[in-house]
Amino acid sequence: MATVEVLATEVVVPAEATPGGTVWLSNLDLAARRGYTTTVYFYRANGDPPGFFAVEAVKDSLARALVAFYPLAGRLGLDGAGRVQIDCTGEGAVFLTASSGHYTLDDLMKEFVPCGEMRDLFVPPTPSSNPACPLLLAQITRLRCGGVVLGLALHHSATDARSAALFVETWASISRRSTMDVLVPPCFDHKLLAARHSRTVLYDHPEYKPEPAAKHTSTVSTYASAIITVTKQQVSVLRARCAGASTFRVLVALVWQTACRARALPLDAETRLYSMIDMRARLVPPLPQGYFGNAVVRTSTAATVGEVVSNTVGHGAWLARGATNQGGDYARSLVDYLEGVEDLMNLPRSGISRAHLRAISWMGMSLNDADFGHGAPAFMGPALMYYSGFVYVMNAPGKDGALTLALSLEPESMPEFSRLFAQELARLDACVASS
């Protein structure tokens, strides 16, 4: 079994004095999963040039990045009423240095799938996610070939994926340019997403209520995971079959349809597609470009399994639109709804029924912007999946427009899913060859 040796555990504090006080968290921050989002970035040594991810240089650039992103150097806290907030203590981020004599980068990329074992190897162990825990933990692991894995754990109460990407891109920019300039200033004014004085709930928001007991299915906590690459040409053929649908919707529709088939569910069972939608640009007025916090909302659309498997992928993409087309009024309605929830910690967070799928787009997280001065990562993705039925759509390494799917299903469903999905990709390839 592969092992990683931790060489040092330190705390990196901001390079300069930073503001004290607290950061108020919105209802969307409090409704997010109370825990850490873990990601990995793989970097190829390319001849192991001098200074390649030198630990002191990485820590120095992190210290400078924490000046602008000072809440990440703080701790999760509680106000006088027991509401969760960020205490800007400046205590710093946890930073681990490690090495692996087992893996080369090529071996790791062949073997890696998001799972608990990989997370334990390449991401720092995280403490309890309750106050007063740190908000950022980072680990640099040097591989046998000289390549490097950067593993991150960011507390979800402080950041969504867009915010995490902004921080990593800023950290990388500071590292490669040896400056403290920030490309997009972060905004920590979470009261921009405060509930309105006159609460107006216009929607039902079932995604924030306990799921009714399913007739045919149950929640599955164990999973098997996979990484699948879809080429630009395959995506183009798929989109041509789904006129007007976005890339995210057509790919998710194909995964949804294939998963329903692989799971062999009754045709009359309900299957629900969940998603997370970034509301920054959809609000009126829009949030600042650098809004740093949780600005995503859970959405979903439902159909019977029979409707999903018996129709075209284009129909599935049309259904997916129901989970991805909400506007700013939906977000404001949700914030107002959550204001009336007595205990936000009791919101459903533990998983979804095995008939359902949760799809998230990380397509806006540019791999090229995570260049610390040694080239873009050879891979970036989640370190683990939280439960069965998750799918991330991400940009693939390189600039050819390919996409990567990181997904999880029940262990008994994954072999059939992999077989069926490979068949679908082969059909797309045949269309490319004949065009």
Partner residues linked to 276 by β-bridges: 298
Question: Domain segments of the chain: what residues?
Answer: 5-193, 208-434
Q: Which residues are catalytic?
A: 156, 371
pLDDT per residue as tens, the chain (435 positions): 678 999 999 999 999 999 999 999 999 999 998 899 999 999 999 776 678 999 999 999 999 999 999 999 999 999 999 999 999 999 999 999 999 999 999 999 999 999 999 999 999 999 888 899 999 999 999 999 999 999 999 999 999 999 999 999 999 999 998 777 788 999 999 999 999 999 999 999 989 987 665 544 555 678 999 999 999 999 999 999 998 899 999 999 999 999 999 999 999 999 999 999 999 999 999 999 999 999 999 999 999 999 999 999 999 999 998 888 889 999 999 999 999 988 887 776 667 889 999 999 999 787 888 999 999 999 999 999 989 999 999 999 876 789 999 999 999 999 999 999 999 999 999 998 887
Best CA proximity match to 31, nearest among 196, 175, 205, 212: 205
Rounded to an integer, what distance in angstroms lies between the CA atom of residue 281 and that of residue 129?
30
Q: Angle formed by the axes of helices 161-177 and 55-68, to 10°?
A: 120
pLDDT of residue 213: 55
Please provide residue 302's backbone torsions phi and psi, each rounded to the nearest 5 degrees.
-125, 150
pLDDT of residue 49: 66
User: CB 246: neighbour CB atoms within 10 A?
Assistant: 16
pLDDT of residue 140: 98
Rounded to an integer, what distance in angstroms lies between the CA atom of residue 245 and that of residue 247?
7
pLDDT of residue 219: 57
User: CB 231: neighbour CB atoms within 10 A?
Assistant: 17
Rounded to an integer, what distance in angstroms lies between the CA atom of residue 410 and that of residue 219?
10
Q: Which two tokens stand for residue 371?
A: 């260049």
Fold agreement between 5-193 and 208-434: yes
Q: How many CA atoms lie within 13 A of 110 on its CB side?
A: 5
Best CA proximity match to 154, nearest among 144, 167, 141: 167
For the purposes of burial, counting CB atoms within 10 Å of the CB of 416, is it exposed (0-12), middle (13-18) or buried (19 or more)?
middle
pLDDT of residue 216: 47
Contact present, 32 and 294 (Cβ < 8 Å): yes
Rounded to an integer, what distance in angstroms lies between the CA atom of residue 326 and that of residue 282?
8
pLDDT of residue 122: 98
Counted residue by residue, the chain has a size of 435
For the purposes of burial, counting CB atoms within 10 Å of the CB of 147, is it exposed (0-12), middle (13-18) or buried (19 or more)?
buried
pLDDT of residue 306: 97
The CATH classification number of 208-434 equals 3.30.559.10
CATH topology of domain 5-193: Chloramphenicol Acetyltransferase (3.30.559)
Rounded to an integer, what distance in angstroms lies between the CA atom of residue 117 and that of residue 99?
16
